[in-house]
Structure 1
């Protein structure tokens, strides 16, 4: 399978940066306390250390996808590898919170150059649509696995080295990419005549940063007029961005692609799927640590267990799509994921680890199968000279979906927690009534039987909130499965078999 000039070696090279970029989303989950002890950031700085990477990444994906289409996807990928390495070194040796925030922002810039370039290069590497489907399924599995592996590697490194080591692991991998990339990846995929519309880039940033930031702030602190105004400002900028795309000759997002219902439906499905992936990750992490009482590293190891299903699901989904049609498999994947949320709604307490792992496994399997086929379709119908822009659009919806998952499921959980917390133990305070984290801190401070009562009340309230959030997730995914199946089949006729990769190839050729 792997000949000397096989495109599969190129895929291996492309999976290296994707693994690191996705890991950097979660690698700080357990490092924040060590960073706080060393750099003493203010509460606002601590939030920025954690969030600025994702904000900048989301805001620049569209622009960097267009830049890749102009200067060449391999060239931008290698430039991004240099930038990612330099920013990682700066972050590892940061001597102040301000420096670390700046380094994390630069990591976001570099990450935005890497993500659309990798997916676009897969489009150029694999001419055969069935091979491309398998390649994108592998790419999707690696990206999903990176988010899960990040906390594991972080926990291991933090037990043996200082917190900067979680950034330094990026450097040797990026150096390896710089060596093998020129030999394994195609050059000459850019169009020098392609122009980058700077006002569109500015409007994209003005849209995504307030929307993502406002949604996450709402999930953390609850709804407020300030958060609503921030989100509204982003939406208003988004309207301006859309209007400009209709007027300029070379837009960042070619809105004509949305005339293909399969394309627009696939974008929507990707957003909902990432809603489920990231929303569940937040719920599971809190449950393992705060309800079951596991240490960070133990919690991370258990959270990795459901991702074993991912390794089998991604390639299996491509074979099933070839036999039964893409619409059926996408709808089935969403249904399986919805059943995972149903299983999570049965969790009860310290004896619920098996149910938690089964539910999370069903979620991971169903959603990875869905996102792999959706990504393949979106890239397959995109014109080759706009592959970077379309990849940037796909990954931007992933970021938005993840932010919505945190906000919506987190808000449901927090609302039910506050209404379900009941304790009149001495020493109970407002923070204990607001979140399980607050209850853990309060219980530790109070101690004794009263502390145990507060902790039990907090855990019971959290489990009740988890049930509600899981039910909400299950309903959303189930409705999406039904609607998506109808919309996708309505474009291919009959039994949906025309949604197999060959049909996508025909669509792309006709453009």
Structure 2
């Protein structure tokens, strides 16, 4: 890897730390934009009247476009310069935010969110690998990774607070406009503070791999969305199977390329693969559960967006504080014990969340969320260090890219898959509801999703109808089911990871020392 500035092998200077701040802004924007949307969804449903399928696409298309284009944009950054790609992405992210803010139909908003996802894929992918290059000292690098991870937690804290305040007094489009001044600040400061990195020996961008990666991800997502929105039909398995077949072709092509988009050789390292799976699963469940939690506070408990944001502050603060302090836990326990204990604590949190959701308990849900933060943050930051640290030093850049791709994809997948499971549970539970007083179209809306059911109740004057409480209980049941699934999966992962790490010799000086 060559750089256009001199690489300093010793301690980082002020410029490196300010550069880390610039990179963290890019991470914060991704997290903030996703969490803001959670709060805005009820207002969007009321204004744009999306179908159940459109509602899922509005939620998920951003994350999946990020995941689909992440490796492509990271590879492009290696070739033309990561700072250059960052600046291009920041400009288009701001422009797409304006488009989203003034969308007048559900279809327009879906297109805008898709463009935001592509732009987000240009500003997100190089951040971790740039941190690895900026900080040559292992201790400083691990501290920098903790700060990098903190940006995601801060986005989760700042996004709902700002979004809730804006939604209380302004149109829902205002939650997208807050991206514009931040992107403008990034454009103004990055050229002066962030060094340019690019690989002079990188091969050309393989367009066939780009197409194959997209044709792997998007059909699979589409199949799950159709299944969630319309109920299971055998035909919905077709796009999922198509995506899996294309995925096999993608993997075979990567093995044949001199400069593959994904370095598959890294997956032959057991500790690398185990850490990656734990990392992906952690992000998968946290993003999916956060989607449920934010909608639960508004749709089931009945809080306004601002009150929902304020009630979420304690759990967001736990995530933020733990992001700053996780390195101390890793220092005391070591990386492996930190990961295993964190998985158990996270599973405890999701188990308590399942109980609280089933009983529609506001305090229980928020308390469980705080426990999840205590376990989740050390797991994610430590597995990030393990992913990079268990790879050969000369492959640290590839390992970083795979780690960030996994995190982005895991979050998007969690929102889509858990959201789909919750929707399927809701539709099944609402089959016995007495909706004879409603028109056929209103019945379809009520059984599709809780948000559209509440909108039908408001528009038809049925806010006291018995099926309203049934709809809320059905949503809470789907929430509880997904949390229970998370508990079982996290405990199984802890058991599997324990066996893998026990058979692997880890150089902890490359991972845990701060």
Distance 1:82 1:134 in 2: 30
- Is 1:344 aligned with 2:357? no
State which of 192, 214, 232 in structure 2 corresponds to 1:205.
214
- Is 1:487 aligned with 2:487? no
What TM-score do you get using the length of structure 2 for normalisation? 0.85
State which of 22, 26, 43 in structure 2 corresponds to 1:13.
22
Deviates more, 1:156-165 or 1:322-331: 156-165
Q: Deviations over 1:1-33 (max 9, x none)?
A: x99625222211111121112222233334456
What TM-score do you get using the length of structure 1 for normalisation? 0.86
- Is 1:334 aligned with 2:334? no
Give the drift of 1:387: 5.7
Unaligned runs of 5+ in 2: 1-10
Give the drift of 1:209: 1.5
| Secondary structure of residue in 2 paired with 1:345 | helix
State the match for 1:477 in structure 2.
490
State which of 270, 280, 284 in structure 1 corresponds to 2:293.
284
Q: How many residues align?
A: 498
Go from structure 1 to structure 2 and tell me whether the alpha carbon gap of 1:174 and 1:87 turns closer, same or farther (over 3 Å shift).
Answer: same
Distance 1:97 1:455 in 2: 25
Go from structure 1 to structure 2 and tell me whether the alpha carbon gap of 1:145 and 1:216 turns closer, same or farther (over 3 Å shift).
Answer: farther
Deviates more, 1:173-182 or 1:264-273: 173-182
State the match for 2:3 in structure 1.
none
Distance 2:57 2:422 in 1: 24
Give the drift of 1:443: 5.0
RMSD value, Cα: 3.3
Q: Deviations over 1:117-138 (max 9, x none)?
A: 2111101111122221221122
Q: Deviations over 1:350-402 (max 9, x none)?
A: 77222111111111231221111122232345577766654443233234433
Give the drift of 1:200: 0.9
State the match for 1:264 in structure 2.
273
Give the drift of 1:59: 0.9
- Is 1:500 aligned with 2:513? no
Give the drift of 1:444: 4.6
Go from structure 1 to structure 2 and tell me whether the alpha carbon gap of 1:44 and 1:433 turns closer, same or farther (over 3 Å shift).
Answer: closer
- Is 1:295 aligned with 2:308? no
| Secondary structure of residue in 2 paired with 1:477 | helix
- Is 1:186 aligned with 2:195? yes
State the match for 1:456 in structure 2.
469
| Secondary structure of residue in 2 paired with 1:19 | helix
Distance 2:479 2:168 in 1: 30
Determine if contact 1:190/1:385 at 8 Å carries over to the other structure: no
State which of 232, 239, 246 in structure 2 corresponds to 1:230.
239
Deviates more, 1:222-231 or 1:427-436: 427-436
Go from structure 1 to structure 2 and tell me whether the alpha carbon gap of 1:100 and 1:445 turns closer, same or farther (over 3 Å shift).
Answer: closer
Distance 2:453 2:484 in 1: 24
Determine if contact 1:65/1:389 at 8 Å carries over to the other structure: no
- Is 1:467 aligned with 2:473? no
